[in-house]
Chains A and B, each alone.
Chain A
């Protein structure tokens, strides 16, 4: 097994077939795209099952698909621990957010946050936070694309990788412009089905080699790992010292509270006609995501047992190559080609969803409601959204090329930390606390946003990690400087409680009290669905 796995030609061919098929579906699905609701929400006419599958397609990004399998292969139990946070987080969305948001909002997260507040300042704050989270997440996916191609397509060298990132970016812009939310949703649905089917096949294959015994599989994984029995118990990754333990608790908080604050996840709840369908969406999403993480436990241990951590670490993508290498080990060139194409499709589907969310927030919140004070027609707003999608796409391509050697996990953790700090406290206060005011909303959004980004900037992630033995580079983003004073990699432990506190403090000190009539409207709408946005024409 050398630098390129399997046949780059086969990998490329399967990926091109995916692009061709999805493009036809996107073009067909988008024929009826006319109104703003079509572009932003696919006409609100998806079923709960379709939307839930699309959510799974959106959520199981390259970081979770490749990252978690790799983490389990190399650090065993601690990788599994990480995946559980991503799953449990969906209960916050199910119990507290999805249905109420669907009932009160229209297109964006800001619709809900600004509902009973002074429109312009709160919309602007919510839009800035949406753009920040989406951009960090987008950058992570694009940067991941670079590493992935060198492994799967045999594209090496700076120019080749940069070119591939550009191709991914252009494809994404085309999907978004042609298909809008409807097209993007279908790409995510197809990708989710392929990903889960592929993972199911590989899981059964691995399991059959060990007589369908989890114990035997774990024994083989431990036997083939330099960690030995330690692979199976907690501590291989996060148990190094007290600081790394506290850091993991901080990360867990961001994972559990961040998911229901991710703008691209929230926007998906507007694609269904009723709150009951929003509920069904989450049930589908939880089932598919839960199933997938169970598969990834088997795949991770399977990769440790059958591929071995030395081979995984030596491969170009490092831990991210565990899943593709396992596919090659099991099913040779063809299965590897399939899994590679799915990995690529993953990046494409996720970046398209992020781009549409960011462009919607810019056009709807910043341009129409902030700059033009809500005077722009829906058609003109969509025109601006399309232009914004192209601009964001170009930014993502350039950012992705610049960030392609950066640590992907760090960018994803950053997105979750900002979402959990700036968005979730504000969403919960807006929906449930009568006394929440404009000042409270601004303090919790900006407080969460600024504190989480500042703490990361001065954390060991950015500067000051010592160079490990046998390596030439520090794991920090910047080399040769050290200006860190915050000891943790993840800011959630500080920034999330701080944002909750600031939201409360801002509200109780606000000279303008909250609007009781608007709160009555919001509360009744959120729980009953009265006056909620209706679906436009069905497919």
Chain B
């Protein structure tokens, strides 16, 4: 795959500005951006909604949250612990996504730009 036929590297200061513009327009980069934003943006919205739902429930529905589920452990504690679980889950999903879908493409574009292959 090539982004561009001409040599892109200029001097030792890294790729020149024109090379970045070309790289940005390349289908490879468009795909990388789509994959990055397609995961990170909706996931950010999701965890913020989930977190603020927990905060709002705790603040405005304390009686409901205080209902025991198991012994003295109530709904509030369970939902709080679920925030830990969801944080761990999102972290794991993102790392998997980045390793599989983002890194190979990013490396390809970077090496093309820096002329290391």
A residues neighboring B (CB under 8 Å): 77-78, 80-81, 84-85, 87-88, 90-92, 94-96, 213-216, 218-219, 222, 229, 232-235, 238-239, 245, 248-249, 252, 256, 276, 279, 282-283, 286-287, 290, 293-294, 516-518, 520-521, 523-525, 527-531
Contacts and interface: CB of A to CB of B under 8 A. Distances in A.
Contact of A286 (B18, B21, B91): B91
B49 to A, nearest CB: 12
B44 A91 contact: yes
Contacts of B62: 233-235, 239
A215 B88 CA distance: 24
B59 A248 contact: yes
Interface SS of chain B = helix
A400 B102 CA distance: 46
Interface in B86-108: 87-88, 90-91, 94-95, 98, 102-103, 106-107
B80 A92 contact: no
User: Which among B58, B62, B66, B102 has the highest number of chain A CB atoms within 10 Å?
Assistant: B58
Contacts of B65: 77, 233-234
Interface string B37-65: 00110011001100110111011101101
Contacts of A293: 84
B71 interface: yes
Q: Assign chain B's interface to a size class.
A: 35 or more
Contact of A81 (B44, B58, B102): B58
8 contacts: A95-B43, A219-B71, A232-B74, A520-B21, A521-B21, A527-B36, A528-B32, A531-B15
A521 B16 CA distance: 9
Contacts of A249: 52, 55-56, 59
B7 interface: no
A521 B110 contact: no
B47 A91 contact: yes
A91 B95 CA distance: 12
A interface secondary structure, majority: helix
A530 B13 CA distance: 11
Contacts of B59: 234, 238-239, 245, 248-249
Contacts of B88: 286-287, 290
Contact of A232 (B72, B103, B114): B72
B87 A87 contact: yes
Interface in B17-47: 17-18, 20-21, 23-24, 29, 32-33, 36, 39-40, 43-44, 47
Given A215-B70, A290-B84, A530 B14 contact: yes
Contacts of B77: 77, 80, 214, 218, 232
A238 B60 CA distance: 10
Q: What 6 A-B pairs come out closest when comparing CB atoms?
A: A215-B71, A233-B66, A531-B14, A234-B58, A218-B72, A234-B62
A216 B113 contact: no
A286 B90 CA distance: 11
Contacts of B60: 245
Contact of A91 (B20, B32, B87): B87
Contacts of B109: 524, 528, 530
B114 A524 contact: no
A531 B12 CA distance: 10
B83 A88 contact: yes
A511 to B, nearest CB: 23
A472 B103 CA distance: 61
Nearest to A217: B72
A294 B84 contact: yes
A279 B98 CA distance: 9
Contacts of B20: 517, 520-521, 524-525, 530
A524 B40 contact: no
Contacts of A520: 17, 20-21, 23-24
A130 B49 CA distance: 29
A248 B62 CA distance: 14
Contact of A215 (B21, B72, B80): B72
A530 B15 contact: yes
Given A218-B72, A283-B95, A77 B58 contact: yes
A84 B36 contact: no
Nearest to B17: A517
Nearest to A87: B87
B87 A88 contact: yes
Given A77-B80, A233-B62, 19 more contacts: A87-B84, A91-B43, A91-B90, A91-B91, A94-B94, A96-B40, A96-B44, A218-B72, A233-B65, A238-B59, A249-B52, A279-B95, A279-B98, A290-B84, A293-B84, A523-B33, A528-B23, A528-B29, A530-B114
B93 to A, nearest CB: 10
A185 B109 CA distance: 33
Given A91-B87, A95-B94, A517-B21, A524 B47 contact: no
Contacts of B58: 77-78, 81, 234, 238
